[in-house]
Amino acid sequence: MKLTKSELENRLKNLNGWVYSETSDAIVKEFKFKDFREAMAFVLRVAFEAEELDHHPDIFISYNRVNLSLRTHSENGVTEKDFKIAEKIDKIE
């Protein structure tokens, strides 16, 4: 079920560096690495989490920068599923 704005804000406090993007109606975070190899290694670990949870962030890679964007398309907004994978992703680093 889609989270309300206040639920969202509360949940975001427990994450590290994720913000809500009004334009994409998603929670987003930018990650920066030493180089492309390190960025790809991170993306691959995110990919395994995504497959395991069957929930797939949009991923943008620009050399050493990775932008992740999470929303639940079926609920047309941000849900508990997005926070679940965000927490897993924050444990990767």
- Report the interface residues with a copy of itself, using CB under 8 A: 36-37, 40, 43-44, 47, 50-51, 56, 58-63
Nearer to a copy of itself, 37 or 93 (CB): 37
Spell out the residues 6+ positions from residue 40 whose beta carbon is closer than 8 angstroms to its own: 61
We find the least distance from the C-beta atom of residue 8 to a copy of itself, in angstroms, to be 22
Say how far apart CA 93 and CA 88 lie, in whole Å. Answer: 10
Say how far apart CA 43 and CA 61 lie, in whole Å. Answer: 8
Nearer to a copy of itself, 37 or 80 (CB): 37
Nearer to a copy of itself, 12 or 61 (CB): 61
Nearest residue to 61 via CA among 82, 75, 47, 72: 47
We find the least distance from the C-beta atom of residue 58 to a copy of itself, in angstroms, to be 5
